[in-house]
């Protein structure tokens, strides 16, 4: 199974508010609120750390969940955020310039 | 660069949110009309850092009126604004601009709102679709789109409440908090607000219901609802990001509630 790499789209701005990550899509001004696990994944989305590593380092220990279940949930989440246009997802590390 | 005086012989300074905008025009009837419309917000001094020259002309397609779509975009650092009843240019660095419009007040009213919103955005403030009032030295905002109840809540206000506006609130950063200023931008109430300011104690986002209650909103939802009510006229990525930061900053400093209310004066017992 190939690794996934994630990075916030350039068309976004994000801000932590009271423990909740709030993200805006600059393209249509839609605002998204991320829950705690989604916030942990967003915070790890540097383009270089694989999604599997992000889940094992930031989600599994923090939320005490099964690693495989957490990874499957993370795949669903990043696919949804990619569809919304706020997260870049690739099978290879993502540079500063994007995919 | 735009010429700030342009040979216009008549002038008036309209002061909203502590920011004077000097409007110059060769037509004395126009200046007189503004003096009447913005009474309470007019300064006796025509000194001001922002200068607008008005060119009253018949060439503007006034028939399209204020319902025509507003277009605001930036070209070479200068803002170009166009609606059915006016065309304007605004240079935010030179802080001067020119408006071509007919002999009516609605066009300049729109231009003033746009310039104030652009100027406020620089300093972390904003204009917002909301009524605002002062009670016991503290300001309260009541936000919502048209029909949400802004004018209704203002109409129901008891005598100890001072109305700042029933339509467009003026919010400016002040140290660790925010101040609300009175504006002449009236809604269905049809009267200008009082030209005073007070620190903002709370923002209520309005919802009509069968009883009166408040509920503190989660930050993400509050940010989304606040941004929907902030006036921003230009689809400019940097401006959207700046306003998002501003909205988040505001929410981290001012409590935001959903206020469900029925249209009777009892609701004011919740606003203290």
Q: Which of A86, A62, A72, A96 is nearest to A4 (CA)?
A: A72
Every domain of chain B with CATH number 3.90.228.20 lies at 126-270
Give the per-residue pLDDT at B29: 94
Topology given in CATH for the domain delimited by B126-270: Phosphoenolpyruvate Carboxykinase; domain 3 (3.90.228)
Whether residue B65 has pLDDT greater than 60: no
Give the per-residue pLDDT at B58: 64
The rounded distance, in Å, linking the Cα atoms of A60 and A68 is 10
Whether residue B252 has pLDDT greater than 90: yes
Give the per-residue pLDDT at B1: 43
Predicted TM-score (pTM) of the model is: 0.87
pLDDT tier, B174 (very low <50, low <70, confident <90, very high otherwise): very high
Whether residue B97 has pLDDT greater than 80: yes
Give the per-residue pLDDT at B69: 84
Would the CB atoms of A17 and B248 count as touching at under 8 Å?
A: yes
The rounded distance, in Å, linking the Cα atoms of B250 and B53 is 34
pLDDT tier, B272 (very low <50, low <70, confident <90, very high otherwise): confident
- What does the pLDDT average to over B52-75? 74
From the list A26, A29, A31, which residue is nearest B220 (CB)? A31
The rounded distance, in Å, linking the Cα atoms of B243 and B228 is 11
User: ipTM value of the model?
Assistant: 0.83
CATH number of A5-88: 1.10.10
Chain B positions in Cβ-Cβ contact with residue A17 (cut-off 8 Å)? 219-220, 223, 248, 251-252
From the list B223, B224, B240, which residue is nearest A26 (CB)? B240
Whether residue B67 has pLDDT greater than 60: no
* Mode of pairing for the β-strands spanning A87-90 and A5-8: antiparallel
> What SS3 state is found at B224?
helix
pLDDT tier, B232 (very low <50, low <70, confident <90, very high otherwise): confident
Q: Where are the domains of chain A?
A: 5-88
- What does the pLDDT average to over B165-182? 96
The rounded distance, in Å, linking the Cα atoms of B236 and B225 is 20
Give the per-residue pLDDT at B101: 94
The pLDDT mean for chain B works out to 90
Mean pLDDT for each 10-residue chunk of chain A (99 residues)? 91 91 91 94 96 96 93 97 96 84
């Amino acid at each position: 199974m190939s690794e996934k790499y994630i990075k916030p789209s350039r068309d976004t701005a994000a801000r932590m508010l009271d423990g909740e990550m709030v993200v805006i899509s600059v393209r249509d001004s839609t605002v998204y609120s991320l829950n705690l696990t989604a916030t942990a994944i967003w915070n790890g989305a540097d383009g270089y750390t694989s999604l599997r590593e992000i889940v094992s380092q930031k989600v599994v220990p923090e939320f005490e969940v099964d690693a495989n279940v957490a990874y499957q949930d993370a795949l669903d989440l990043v696919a949804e955020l990619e569809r919304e246009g706020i997260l870049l997802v690739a099978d290879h590390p993502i540079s500063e310039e994007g995919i | 660069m735009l010429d700030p005086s342009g040979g216009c012989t008549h002038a008036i300074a309209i002061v909203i949110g502590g920011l004077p905008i000097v409007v110059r025009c060769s037509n004395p009837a126009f200046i007189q009309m503004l003096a009447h419309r913005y009474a309470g917000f007019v300064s006796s001094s025509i000194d001001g850092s922002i200068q607008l020259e008005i060119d009253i002309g018949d060439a503007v397609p006034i028939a399209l009126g204020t319902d025509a779509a507003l277009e605001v975009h930036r070209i070479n650092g200068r803002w170009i604004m166009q609606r059915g009843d006016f065309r304007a240019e605004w240079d935010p660095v030179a802080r001067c601009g020119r408006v071509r419009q007919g002999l009516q007040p609605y066009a300049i009213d729109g231009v003033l709102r746009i310039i104030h919103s652009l100027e406020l955005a620089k300093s972390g403030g904003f204009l917002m679709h909301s009524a605002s009032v002062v009670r016991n030295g503290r300001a309260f905002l009541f936000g919502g789109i048209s029909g949400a109840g802004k004018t209704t809540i203002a109409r129901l206000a008891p005598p100890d409440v001072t109305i700042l506006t029933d339509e467009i609130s003026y919010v400016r950063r002040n140290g660790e908090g925010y101040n609300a200023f009175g504006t002449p931008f009236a809604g269905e109430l049809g009267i200008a607000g009082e030209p005073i300011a007070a620190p903002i104690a709370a923002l209520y986002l309005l919802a009509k219901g069968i009883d009166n209650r408040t509920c503190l909103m989660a930050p993400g939802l509050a940010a989304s609802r606040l941004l929907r009510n902030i006036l921003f006229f230009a689809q400019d990525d940097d401006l959207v990001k700046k306003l998002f930061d501003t909205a988040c900053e505001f929410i981290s400093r001012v409590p935001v509630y959903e206020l469900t209310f029925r249209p009777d004066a009892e609701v004011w017992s919740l606003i203290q």
